Chain A
Amino acid sequence: MNILLSLIILLFCGVCDDVRQDVAYITDSGHVEFTSRVPLHTFTGSSDHLHGLIDFDENLVDFYLDLSTLKSGIGRRDRDIYRTLNVDDYPFAEFTGTLSTSFDQNSSETQQVEVQGEFTIHGVTRNVTIQGTMQKQGEELYLTAEWILNLEDYDIEPPGILFYRVNEEQELRIEATLNSAPKEEI
């Protein structure tokens, strides 16, 4: 009986595989931007090396960024940022989670979405919920999201400039166009 049940389950899994889409959406050139504030001064850093994967079948949303690709326009400040984030030991900022709202893949309208999962930076992982938008554009998926990252939550000491400290709250924004690709090629 148990063998029969197992076979049914296996068969069910196989059927599920058959009805799954064989594509996922992927990028290696997403845009990330952060805004830091100190009294009387604001600076922005960015990277165009955001890697991302969205697989609707597996309900998987997976993004990561090599933090050493962040540039703020001043090389010396970039190196300060890398030291603050301890990039040598923790080179990536990562998010792995799931879509917690539905997304209509047959619509080309911009849709509000929400993802839930684990965000890791500086070796510290927190559960987060992030709101954003997604829009299907032919074979592409356009995604935007914004949220606030609190440095203290991730044991990151805000760097100081003389008597000032960088605000603990960093405004993060991502923007990416993900292309459909056969899963076996990912």
Chain B
Amino acid sequence: MNVCKFANFGFTVFFLHLVLLVESMNAQLPRERADADPPVDRLFWASYSIGISTVESVSARNLNSTVKHTFGLVDGGIDHFFGLDDGANTRLGLEYGFHDRFSMGIGRMTFNKLVDMHAKYNILRQTVSGSTPVELAVKTSVGINTFPGTGRDFSERLNYFVSVMIARKMGNFSLQATPMYAHFNRVSGNNEKQLFGLGIVAGLALNDRFSLGAEYLPVIGDRNPGTYDTAAVTLNIDTGGHIFQLFFTSSQWHNESFIMANNRDRFWEGEFRFGFNIHRVFGF
């Protein structure tokens, strides 16, 4: 009987302790995420796939510097050191993030001594929850041919570009469709003043350090004589501070307008060249 009473008393005390413990646990702060629906991270590893811009944006108060380099055709063989002895086209570029969704940039490339300026705005961000299933960005650009002695006035040297980038990441795989339009104020011969294209960009993250990428840029509708759709494949390497892109591409040009207008090599016929992009971000 005494044992029974003691057990009853023990249970009562245990129960009271339990009540107090639960009360104490409830006193903890409820854990809440700062952003309940965060955006998907890293659809692509850089703001350029190879030659085509991606939805990847430059963060606010960050400056992205880019060096882009393409050489001659690989099929030149050892005599041309697989294209590295041939003329290179280099573009140096800077892009500043005024906001996590808005950036502006400027670049200059060897060919045509072309100076281009662009603005990019991310309208939609794909979210982890899927509430926004795609990433959507718009890019506009103006280019100025600064090559001397062509006899062109200022307005004749200008070209304009606009593209819409629609992308989605699915696991480690990302896909982007990029309808685009380019306008050239003055063209030579039978070249088109207006060009339409549909860039396709794909990316596959292998791990945190390496990813593969590919792009294909068919011209839609009328195109310049003797030009072909551009294709390229790349290996991306994230060293922690830099993103290196080592690629083979049919086009030696570095922005979409001139890739559509001037690519005269056929990737599928073995007419491709080695190139690399280097991206480095600085904080301000």
- Give A contacts to B, CB under 8 Å: 1-2, 5-6, 9-10, 13, 24, 26, 49, 51-53, 55, 58, 60, 62, 64, 66, 68-69, 72-80, 82-83, 88, 91-92, 94, 96, 159-162, 183, 186
For chain B, the bracket of interface size reads 35 or more
Q: For residue B278, give the distance in angstroms from its CB to the closest CB of chain A.
A: 14
The 6 closest A-B pairs by CB, nearest first: A75-B59, A161-B240, A73-B283, A2-B9, A74-B283, A66-B34
The smallest beta-carbon distance between B31 and chain A, in angstroms, is: 5
Q: A145 → chain B, closest Cβ, in Å? A: 17
Whether the Cβ atoms of B9 and A5 lie closer than 8 Å is: yes
Q: A68-B38, A96-B28 are in contact. Are A74 and B282 (CB under 8 A)?
A: yes
Given the known A-B contacts A74-B281, A75-B100, are A91 and B33 also in contact in the complex, defined by CB atoms under 8 Å?
yes
**Could you tell me the distance between the alpha carbons of A64 and B34 in the complex, rounded to whole angstroms?**
11
* B33 close to A83 (CB less than 8 A): no
Which residues of the other chain, B, contact A1 by a CB distance below 8 angstroms?
A: 5
- What residues on A are CB-neighbors of B24 within 8 Å? 58, 60
Whole-angstrom distance from the CB of B128 to the nearest CB of chain A?
7
Is residue B127 contacting chain A, with contact meaning CB distance below 8 A? no
Q: What total count of A-B pairs have CB within 8 Å?
A: 93
User: Does the CB pair B20–A13 fall under 8 Å?
Assistant: yes
> Smallest distance from the beta carbon of B13 to chain A beta carbons, Å?
7
User: In the bound complex, what is the Cα–Cα distance between A24 and B24 (angstroms)?
Assistant: 13
Does B240 contact A159, Cβ atoms closer than 8 Å?
Answer: yes
Residues of chain B within 8 A (CB-CB) of A94 are: 31
Known pairs A53-B28, A68-B33, A88-B128; A76 contacts B281 (CB<8 A): yes
- Quick check: A68 and B31 within 8 Å, CB to CB? no
In the complex, what distance in Å separates the CA atom of A112 from the CA atom of B281? 42
Bound: A94/B60 CA distance, A: 28
Q: Please, could you name 8 A-B residue pairs with CB atoms under 8 Å apart, sorted by A?
A: A9-B16, A66-B35, A68-B35, A73-B62, A76-B281, A83-B41, A91-B33, A161-B240
B22 within 8 A of partner (CB): no
- B240 close to A160 (CB less than 8 A): yes
Contacts of B62 in A (CB 8 A): 73-76
Residues of A within 8 A of B6 (CB): 2
* Docked CA distance A1–B31 (Å): 43
